[in-house]
Structures are given as structure tokens and as C-alpha cells.
Structure 1
Amino acid sequence: MSALFNVILPVFLVVGFGYITCWRGMLSEVAVDGIMRFAQNFAVPVLLFNAIANLDLGANFDPFLLASFYAGAFISFGAGLAAAIYWLKRPLEDAIAIGFVCLFSNSLLLGVPITERAYGPDALVWNFSIIAIHSPLLYTFGITVMEFARARGRNLSVGRVALRALSGVLHTPLVIGILSGLVMNLLIQAGLVMPEGFWSAVTMLSSAALPTALFALGGILYRYRPEGEMRAIALCCAASLALHPAIAFGLGSLSGLSTDQMRSLVVTASMAPGVNAYLFASIYGVAKRVAASTVLIGTLLSILTVWFWLNVLP
């Protein structure tokens, strides 16, 4: 019970504060969009830059950890895609967006603060090991699959479709933050020493990232209240909150991962779909209601599912 009140509840109280603020009309939609834009386009990329720049890439890269997490993610995508096509009878582009909702867990805005509160700041090295390739890999996969689906019947070469997908990924602020952090990491390994004032500024901006993003997430969730599509929403919640962490837990256990690795792996896998899942659907104008409603309902349900996993993990 202490995990619920001491670890999970504080994170969701910040989200709830943002939700109530918008519900009571104390902030406009434009203001919430501005806060989220600051968080996602500036503060969170700087947080990722800071984490990746100072990450020991050799010591904190474990292929079994990454395989356990991303196998669960891609199996969840496949399950969501297949169920959307054959059970829900949705068009292919809708089904891809629904599969992406099942695929893209909120590894950063919820996974990092919950892991930190549960196991301490030192536990985050494995979270950031997963996050380092999370957005680049999953956005590249999702955009590529969608672009090929949309290119059916048009005379577009494979190279042109791949180039459009790569361009979309490289313009994503989170990916820019990760790649910049990787470049800085390599420069530091080569002997570059940045002034202390530089890292102080990076730390200041990084410290604003999570609370600001969580607060804005609450405001965004208020806007996208659930409407219909309950079978599709239930499918996405089941895949992201149950199937993904169960597969990650099973594969991680078989791989002999350490206790610290298992904690970061399963907690990250058990996160609800993030706002980025809705943004992906919004970019292509498909399954937006399903994505938005799943983000809201999945985030609420994750209070219980994360509590379950925190009690299962050692």
C-alpha cells in the first residue's frame, strides 16, 4: 500500500492538478498548449540530452534488456494491428494508428518519475538506456509503416517513402535531444570538457522538464475526454498495460537480468500510452478519438497496474 501512496500518487497528483486547473477554467487551451510545447520541445529534450551525454554507453547497454522491452512493444503493436483489422474491421491506416497506441508507452513522463520515486535516482540509468532508442526506433517504425500504407496505389519508390519517414523522425525534438546527447557523450569520451556553467544551465532546465510536462499532461487529458470506441480503447489498454509488461517480465526473467534492470524494464513497459501516441494519430488524421481516449483511460488505469507490478518486482 505504501507504494501506491508514496510512489504513484505524487506523480498522478501533479497530473491531476493540471487536469483540475483546466477543468475549472484557470488555464486556457492555448496556455496548456504553450506549457506542453515548452516541455516537449525544449525542457524534455534537454533532460534527454543531459541523461544521454552523461550515460556510460558501454556499461549501460544490455542487448537482453533492450530485446525484452522492445519485443514486448512490437508484439503489442502486432496484436493491436491484427485485432483492429480482423476484429474491429478498421481500415489499414486506422489499424496502424491503433497498433502504434499499443506500441508507444509513456516511458519518459511517467516511467522516469515513478521509477525514481520507487527505487531512487541511481535506478534511472537503465530507464535511460531504454529511452535512448525509444523515440527514434518507434517513431521510425511507425512513420515508415504508415507511409508505406499510404503509398499503396501511388508510384512512390521505396527510397522516397523511407526518406519521408526519416525526415519526419529527425524533426522530432525528443529525437534531436537524444542524438545531441549522443554526440556530446562521444565528444566527452574524446576529451572535451564543457564549462561548469554550461552543465548548471542544462541541469536547471532539465529539472523543470518532468513536473512541467506532467502538469501539462493533465491539461491535455482534460481536453481529450473519452467518447465511444470502447472496444478499441479496451484493446489498446490491454495491450499496453497488460501484454507489454507481461512479455517484458517473462523475457527479462529468462534472460537473467539483474534486479535493477528488471525494475526499469517492467515499470517502463507497464506505462500507459503517452500523448505522443495521440500526436502520431493526429499527424495522419486517423483513429484520433481512440488514441486520445486511450491516453486518458490508460493513464488512470495505470495507477492500479503499476501498483501491481511494483508489488511483483523484487
Structure 2
Amino acid sequence: MTAIATNVAPIFILILLGWILVRTGLLGAGVGEALGEFVFKVAVPVLLFQTISEADFHGASPFRLWIAYFSGVAVTWTLGHVIATRLFGRDARVGVLAGVSSAFANNVFIGLPLVGRIVGEEGIVPLSILLAVHLPLMMVVGTILMENAERGVSGGSGRGIGLIMKQVATNLLKNPLIAGLGAGILVHVTGLPLGEVGTSIVHQIAAIAAPAALISLGMALHKYGVRGNLGIASATSLLKLILMPAVVWTASLLLGLSPSWTAAMVLTSSVPTGINAWLIANRFGVGHGLAASTITLTTAVGVVSVTFWAWLVL
């Protein structure tokens, strides 16, 4: 357990470092935003490109992997919605936000560094396969459910599914992560050589993706904090950190995923809630406090739960 904790701790220490840099005023919040932009638009897409272009998939099918992970998403999201609406008596919009906060893992900024450090390249490959569908599917489902909830609460007509899908598709086509994955697939399939110089540049940029992502995340956390809703936020945090990885682990074992793929899926499902929950809350103007509190709470205690899951699956 001590060895596992030693590997997990640096992940969260780098997040804490980023938070301290902004909190103490040593660096401004604008620096963190710029670093986050670089990570999202350059460093992580290059890392995904490198991983996919150089990966050896051994003819593995992604469908069992997707089923294992999204079974955890479905169970956790549903229970988060039920707890918010039935137990705490909140409306359907907050229910959707509770589901998103319970099930939307920070796979890019924390999942990639964590899996890379704990599992290695054998874990980055299945995580990259997951990322190819994770963001599109989660955003489509989250947006459609929130639109339906908004229509039910306000009584308006709302947007049709066609318009929602068009908007999400447009946003995804502009998403650097999708571009990195697509370019990696193209090079992998065609065998297009990058040359010694190109390969060296790709590897150097990919190498800084993990630490830069963690520090930038810590620098962004100052604007969230805990904003009330502690009852629901505590429930969604427990669902995110405990129930979701438990369901993913069980499904991975039942579906016969390899040990490295199982470890990758369990670890990335165990990481704190991603900022996408905040983005959806901001888009619809509801549940800001719940999203912010869940992000903060899961990040604050995530080092303990992630260490536990890493110990369990390795």
C-alpha cells in the first residue's frame, strides 16, 4: 500500500501545487487559464496522437471496454439523479446535474497522468480508446437530458434532438482531443513515418502533458470551492469515488478484460469529477453550487480513494 500511495501522491501534490501558486498570488489565475489552454489544445492531443499512432492493439475489440466503463456511468448517473430528486427533493434539472457530477470523470487532466504513472503504456492505450467516445457520448447524453429537464420545469418547447446533435457535432469537430485521436489513427493505419525529428518533437511535447495538466487543474480549482449543497455534493462525491469504480471493476471482471485494461478502466473511473459538470451547469444556469462542491470535494479526498483502488487492482 505504501508503494502505491507513493505513486499516487505526486498526482495530487501537483494539483495542490497549482492551487497554492494561485492562492498565494505567486501566479495569476490568467496564467493557469493559459496553461490549461495549452494542455487541452496542444499537449494532451499530442500525447493521444503519440499513444494511438505507436500502439499495438493486438486485435483487441473496444466494445467490451466501452461496455465495462459505461455500465459504471449508467448506474452512478441514475442513482445520482434519483438521490437528488427523490431524497433531496430537487427538480429534474438538478437531478441531471447530480448525475453528471457523479459520473463525469476527469479522464483527461487526472486520468491520463494517473494511468500513465500507475499502469504505464499498456494502460494508456485502452484509456485512449475510451476517450475516443467518452466526451462525445457524455456531452450528447448530458445535453439532451438537461434540455428535456429544462422543458419539463419551464414548460418551454426547448430544442429538438436534431439541433442538439448538430451543435454537439460541431463542437466535437473543433475539439483538439478528437483531432489528436483522429490523426493518431490515420498514422497508425497508414504507417506514415514521422521521421526522427518529428518523432522527437512529439515525444517531448507528450512528456510535459501530464505535469502541465495537473498543475493547470490545480490553478483552476480556486474558482470552484465549496458552495453549499453539501448534502447532495457529499452523496455525489461518494458515488463518484466509490460506487462508479466498483461497478466498472465488477463489469471488467465479468467481461474478461485483461489485467492492464481492467486497471486502467478502474483507475480512470475512480478519479475526481471533471470540470465538464461545471460547464453543463454554466450552460443551463442551474446547479453551479452542486457542480463546484462536487469537483472540490472529490479532488480534495481523491488521493485516498484513488490510492485504495490502485492498491486493489494492482
Alignment TM-score > 0.5, same fold: yes
Q: Structure 1: any 5+ residue segments left out of the alignment?
A: none
Contact 2:122–2:260 (CA under 8 A) maintained in structure 1:
no
Contact 1:143–1:168 (CA under 8 A) maintained in structure 2:
no
Equivalence for 2:76: 76
AA partner of residue 168 (structure 1): N
Higher deviation after alignment, 246-255 or 167-176: 167-176
- Aligned residue for 1:227, secondary structure, equals coil
- Aligned residue for 1:165, secondary structure, equals helix
Instruction: Map 1:189-204 onto structure 2 (within 5 A).
Output: 189-204=189-204
AA partner of residue 162 (structure 1): M
**CA–CA separation in structure 2 for the residues paired with 1:211 and 1:232:** 31
In the TM superposition, residue 14 of structure 1 has moved relative to its aligned partner by 0.9
**CA–CA separation in structure 2 for the residues paired with 1:166 and 1:201:** 30
Instruction: Map 1:1-314 onto structure 2 (within 5 A).
Output: 1-56=1-56, 59-150=59-150, 153-154=156-157, 156-182=159-185, 184-185=186-187, 188-314=188-314
Higher deviation after alignment, 217-226 or 163-172: 163-172
> May I ask how many residue pairs the two structures share in their alignment?
311
Going from structure 1 to structure 2, the CA distance change for 1:208 and 1:81 (only over 3 Å counts) comes to same
In the TM superposition, residue 177 of structure 1 has moved relative to its aligned partner by 2.9
Contact 2:76–2:102 (CA under 8 A) maintained in structure 1:
yes
- Aligned residue for 2:166, secondary structure, equals helix
Contact 1:80–1:102 (CA under 8 A) maintained in structure 2:
yes
Contact 1:144–1:165 (CA under 8 A) maintained in structure 2:
no
In the TM superposition, residue 307 of structure 1 has moved relative to its aligned partner by 1.5
AA partner of residue 220 (structure 1): A
- Aligned residue for 1:273, secondary structure, equals coil
**CA–CA separation in structure 2 for the residues paired with 1:297 and 1:156:** 33
Contact 2:122–2:261 (CA under 8 A) maintained in structure 1:
no
**CA–CA separation in structure 1 for the residues paired with 2:53 and 2:221:** 32
Higher deviation after alignment, 274-283 or 289-298: 274-283
- Aligned residue for 1:90, secondary structure, equals coil
Contact 1:61–1:129 (CA under 8 A) maintained in structure 2:
no
Q: Structure 2: any 5+ residue segments left out of the alignment?
A: none
AA partner of residue 161 (structure 2): V
In the TM superposition, residue 170 of structure 1 has moved relative to its aligned partner by 3.1
- Aligned residue for 1:109, secondary structure, equals helix
In the TM superposition, residue 244 of structure 1 has moved relative to its aligned partner by 0.7
Going from structure 1 to structure 2, the CA distance change for 1:12 and 1:35 (only over 3 Å counts) comes to same
Going from structure 1 to structure 2, the CA distance change for 1:133 and 1:53 (only over 3 Å counts) comes to farther
Going from structure 1 to structure 2, the CA distance change for 1:239 and 1:43 (only over 3 Å counts) comes to same
Contact 2:51–2:124 (CA under 8 A) maintained in structure 1:
no
TM-score, normalised relative to structure 2: 0.89
In the TM superposition, residue 58 of structure 1 has moved relative to its aligned partner by 6.2
AA partner of residue 159 (structure 1): G
TM-score, normalised relative to structure 1: 0.89
- Aligned residue for 1:89, secondary structure, equals coil
**CA–CA separation in structure 1 for the residues paired with 2:262 and 2:158:** 46
Contact 1:52–1:132 (CA under 8 A) maintained in structure 2:
no
**CA–CA separation in structure 1 for the residues paired with 2:158 and 2:19:** 46
In the TM superposition, residue 151 of structure 1 has moved relative to its aligned partner by 5.4
In the TM superposition, residue 17 of structure 1 has moved relative to its aligned partner by 0.9
Contact 1:248–1:266 (CA under 8 A) maintained in structure 2:
yes
**CA–CA separation in structure 2 for the residues paired with 1:193 and 1:56:** 16
Contact 1:93–1:286 (CA under 8 A) maintained in structure 2:
yes
**CA–CA separation in structure 2 for the residues paired with 1:240 and 1:100:** 10
**CA–CA separation in structure 2 for the residues paired with 1:161 and 1:289:** 25
AA partner of residue 131 (structure 2): I
Contact 1:241–1:305 (CA under 8 A) maintained in structure 2:
yes
In the TM superposition, residue 149 of structure 1 has moved relative to its aligned partner by 3.9
AA partner of residue 286 (structure 2): V
